[in-house]
Chain A
Amino acid sequence: MYKVKPFYSSAPLEDLPGCMYRLPGVHAAPPGVAAAAASQGEDATLLELEQRQEAMLRRLHKLRDEVDDLARAVLVPSGPQSSAPAAGASSSPQLPSCPAHHHHHQHVGQLDTILGMGGGVVHDIVVVASPARPPLSVIVLHELLRHRYRVLTAVHVHSNVTAPVPPALRLCLGPPSANDSRSDHQLVLTIIWKDVPRPELRVDVTHACPVLGEGNVARFLWALAGATRSDPVARTQDDAWVDVAMLQLLPAGPKERASVLKVLNAELGRPGRPWLGGAEFSLADIVMWSALAQSGGPAAVGVPPHVAHWRLVCEAHPTFQTAKGLL
C-alpha cells in the first residue's frame, strides 16, 4: 500500500572520534627524532658549554693539588722537602748513614696515604705467624722501617699456642723500648705468634682484607719502607725472585731445593751482581735469604759456592743482624 522511503542508510556510520581532547606530548620525543631536530642549531653551543665546564674542572683540580702540597709543607715542621721519588731518577735504596729524626717526619704523609687510614693516629700493623716457622724477612724489613719511621714494637703470644715459645722469639724485634707510649710513635709493628698455616698481615679490618703469605707481607712492608726501586724492569725481576723464593724454594723437598739453588748459583755467578737484584740490595735478597734459611738444612751444607758467598754478604749487612740471631 504505502512504500516509505528508507530513513536510515545502510552505509556504515561515520567514525566517531574516540579521543575527547588531544594535547601535544610533554615528554621528549624519541632521541632520533629529537637529536635530528635539535642538534642542528644547538650542537655548537652545547659543545662550547661542555668545554668550558671541563676547563673549570681542570683548574679546580690543579688548585686542589697546590693546596694539598702547601698543606703538607705547612704540617711538616722541619727538614728538606722531599715528595715521592722523582720519576726517572732511580731513588737509591741505600740506607742513610745515620737515621736522623727529621727523616721520620717527612714520611708521615706517605704513611697515611699508603695505609689509607685517617691521619693523626699511630698505625698498628699486625703480623701473625707461627713460632715454628718465623718469617725472617719481616724481621729484616722491620730494621728498614726503623730507619724511616719511629716504630714501636710489640710481640705477643696467642693463647692457642701450646708449646712454650723460646725467649729469642719474644725478643725478636729487639728489647722493649723505654718509651712505650704508643702515640709518640708513627708506626707500631705487632707480631703475634699463633698457630697459623702461613703468615698474615692486617692493618685496617673495616675496609681491607688481610695480606696472606710471607712473600706478600714482605712486599707490603718493603713498599711501606719506601724502598721500591723506580725502574719497572728491576721491580718485575725482584717480584719474580720473591715468587721463586716463596713458591719454589720454601715448600721444596731436597731435590727441588737443589735445582733451585743451581738456578740461583747461575744467576749469582754472573759478573757485577753482588746482590740478587743486580747492583743494588733489594727485596729479592731479603726474601730469598729468608726462604733459604727456613727451607731447612744446616747452614752451608749442599749450598753452591756463589750462593754461599751471597749469603755471607747478606748476613754481613746491618739490617740482617737481628734475624741472623734467630737462626
Chain B
Amino acid sequence: MSDAAAAASEEGQATSKKGLKKQQKEAEKAAKKAEKQAQAAAGQQGSEEEDYAKDHYGVPPMIQSQERVDRVLVRVEELAVKNADQKLWVRARVHTSRSKGKQCFLVLRQQQFNVQGIVAVGQNVSKQMVKFAASINKESIVDVEGFVRKVDQKIESCTQQDVELHIEQIFVVSMSDPKLPLQLDDATRPENDKEEDGRATVNQDTRLDNRILDLRTTTSQAIFRLQAGVCHLFRETLINKGFVEIQTPKIISAASEGGANVFTVTYFKTNAYLAQSPQLYKQMCISGDFEKVFCIGPVFRAEDSNTHRHLTEFVGLDIEMAFNYHYHEVVESIGDTLVQIFKGLQTRYQTEIQTVGRQYPAEPFKFLEPSLRLEFPEALAMLREAGVEMGDEEDLSTPNEKLLGRLVKQKYDTDFFILDKYPLAVRPFYTMPDHRDPKTSNSYDMFMRGEEILSGAQRVHDPELLTERARHHGIDLEKIKAYIDSFRYGAPPHAGGGIGLERVTMLYLGLHNVRQTSMFPRDPKRLTP
C-alpha cells in the first residue's frame, strides 16, 4: 500500500489539495497498520514464549491404532471422594464448556454420569490452554488428566456431586461438528419445566431423526438399559423354570394369522412373507417334544395404525408350554415370570428407574404376587357398574380396557392383572373353547396400567376340532393345511402367549409413547434411521 502511495505521489506531483490530503491520510493509515502488525507480532512472540503448557493440550493425530498406550482411563461414575487427590486419566464427552477469565469450567459426561472439570491458569496450565479448552466443541470426545479434588459445596448439576477434576492435560480425541441439530440439555428437560421457563424441549420427530444424539441423553441410556434388563430377566427366569430358547424363521411361506397385515418380500421367483408372530413354529416345537419353549425375536405387523403403542416392527418375547391337565398351569407360569421380571427390575434397576423418573415422572409400578386373575364376567360387571354398556360377547375396546385398569387399581391397588375366560366369538380360530360353556374360551389377556400386553390361550391341539373351528370362522382350509397337519402325529395340550418388549418397558416406566422405548422405531411413516 505504501509503495502504491509513493508511486502515485511521484507521478501526480501537481495534484490538488484534496489529492495531497488523501495521500496524507493513506500514509497515516499505512503507518498505523504497520505499527499494529509490529505490535501483534511482538505480542504473539510474547505469548508463544509464555505458553509453557503447549504439550499439555491440543488435537493429537487421529487414533489409527498407532501404538498401545499403557494408560488406565477411569470411568466417570467411579470418581468419588475415595479418589481425592489422585491424578487420573478420564475419557468423556464435553457436555458444556464455559470460560470465565482465567478459568474454564467443563462438564464431562460419560453415559449416565457427569462430573465438573476446571481448567485454571496455574503452574502447569497456561492462558492459551484455558482458551483452547473453552473453544472445544460440545460433544467432542476428550482425554483429560487431572487431580480429583473434594468440594465443600455439593455440585448439584452433576451426578458426581462430591468431587471435581482439576485438569492438567486435555486432548481432543474426536472433534464434533460445532452445529448440533439438537441440544442434549433440551432433550433431557422435563415437559413441565418448559412451560414455566419458556425454554425449549425437543419434540419427538426431531429426536427420532437425530437418534444418535438423543440416545446419548441420560434418560435414553437409562430406558434402554432397563429394556435390556427386561430381556435378561425374561431369559433368566424362563431358563430357571426349565424352558428352552428357540429361534424361529421370520421369512415364511404363508401368513400365520389373518393375512391382511403381512409384509411381502420377493423370494427369488416367488413371494414370501415376514412373520407376524412365531406362533406356528412355537407350536411345532411343542409337537416336536420340547415341552417348554420361548423365543425372543422381531415381529413384523403391517398395520397402518399410527397410535402411541403400535410399531410395524418390534421385539416379541413369546412363550409356549405343554401342560398336564389344566391351562391354568401355563397362566400361573406366565404370570409368575412377569412378576419375577417386575421384582428384578425393582431391585436391580432402581437407578435407571429414578433417572427416567426425573424427566418423565410416573407412579411406581405396583403388582401382586401371585398375580391377580379376574374372569371376563366379573370385569363386565365392574364396567357395567361404572356405567359402560357392553354386550356379553363383546370384546373390550381400548377406552374400556383403560377404565377397567383404573377400576382394578382402585379395588386391588395393582397395575398388573390377568383377565381370563374371554368369550369365544372374539378370539382367533385356534383358541380352545371352554368345555362347559361353548360361548367361552380358555383364553386370557394380561394388562399393565390398563393396556393389554399379552394375548394368549389354550391352543386347539386336535386336528378335527381345529378344522371345524377354522370352517366356522370361514378360513380357507387350503392355506392352513400345513398348520393343521402339524397336529396329526400326537400333539400335547399346550398354551402360551407373547409380549412386546417395547410395550412392556413403556408401561413399566409409565411413559406415553412406544417410540421412546424403541431404539430405531419403525412405523408406517418412519423407515430411517
Contact = CB atoms under 8 A, between A and B. Distances in A.
Interface of A: 117-118, 120-122, 124, 126, 128, 154, 156-160, 180-183, 190, 192, 194, 202, 204-207
B83 to A, nearest CB: 33
Nearest to A158: B368
Contacts of A124: 374, 378, 411
Contacts of A206: 382, 385-387, 407
Contact of B346 (A118, A159, A192): A159
Given A118-B384, A204-B385, A206-B385, A158 B413 contact: yes
Given A122-B375, A156-B412, A205-B411, 19 more contacts: A118-B384, A124-B378, A124-B411, A128-B413, A154-B372, A156-B368, A157-B369, A158-B413, A159-B343, A159-B346, A182-B374, A182-B378, A183-B375, A183-B421, A194-B413, A202-B411, A205-B407, A206-B385, A206-B387
Interface in B279-336: 328
B31 to A, nearest CB: 84
B381 A117 contact: yes
B342 A159 contact: yes
Given A128-B413, A190-B412, A158 B378 contact: no
Given A159-B342, A207-B385, A192 B368 contact: yes
B377 A159 contact: no
B370 interface: yes
A156 B411 CA distance: 13
Interface string B60-87: 0000000000000000000000000000
Nearest to B381: A121
Contacts of B421: 183
Which of A159, A182, A205, A207 has the most chain B CB atoms closer than 10 A to its own CB? A159
Contacts of A156: 368-370, 372, 412
B366 interface: yes
A11 B411 CA distance: 90
Which of B366, B378, B386 has the most chain A CB atoms closer than 10 A to its own CB? B378
Contacts of A204: 385
A171 B413 CA distance: 21
Interface residues of B, number: 31
B347 to A, nearest CB: 10
A207 B375 CA distance: 21
Given A159-B346, A205-B407, A205-B411, A122 B378 contact: yes
B397 interface: no
Given A159-B369, A206-B385, A180 B328 contact: yes
Contacts of A128: 413
Interface string B373-409: 1110110111011110000000000000000000100
Interface of B: 328, 342-343, 346, 365-370, 372-375, 377-378, 380-382, 384-387, 407, 410-414, 420-421
17 contacts: A117-B381, A118-B381, A120-B377, A121-B377, A156-B370, A156-B412, A158-B366, A158-B413, A159-B366, A159-B368, A160-B366, A190-B412, A192-B368, A194-B413, A202-B411, A206-B386, A206-B407
Contacts of A121: 377-378, 380-381
Contacts of B372: 154, 156, 190
Contacts of A207: 385
Contacts of B384: 118
Pick the 6 closest A-B CB pairs, nearest first: A156-B368, A121-B381, A205-B410, A206-B385, A205-B411, A182-B375
A158 B414 contact: yes
A183 B414 contact: no
A160 B342 CA distance: 12
A187 to B, nearest CB: 12
Which of B346, B370, B373, B387 has the most chain A CB atoms closer than 10 A to its own CB? B370
Nearest to B385: A206
A317 B33 CA distance: 113
Nearest to A121: B381
Contacts of A122: 375, 377-378
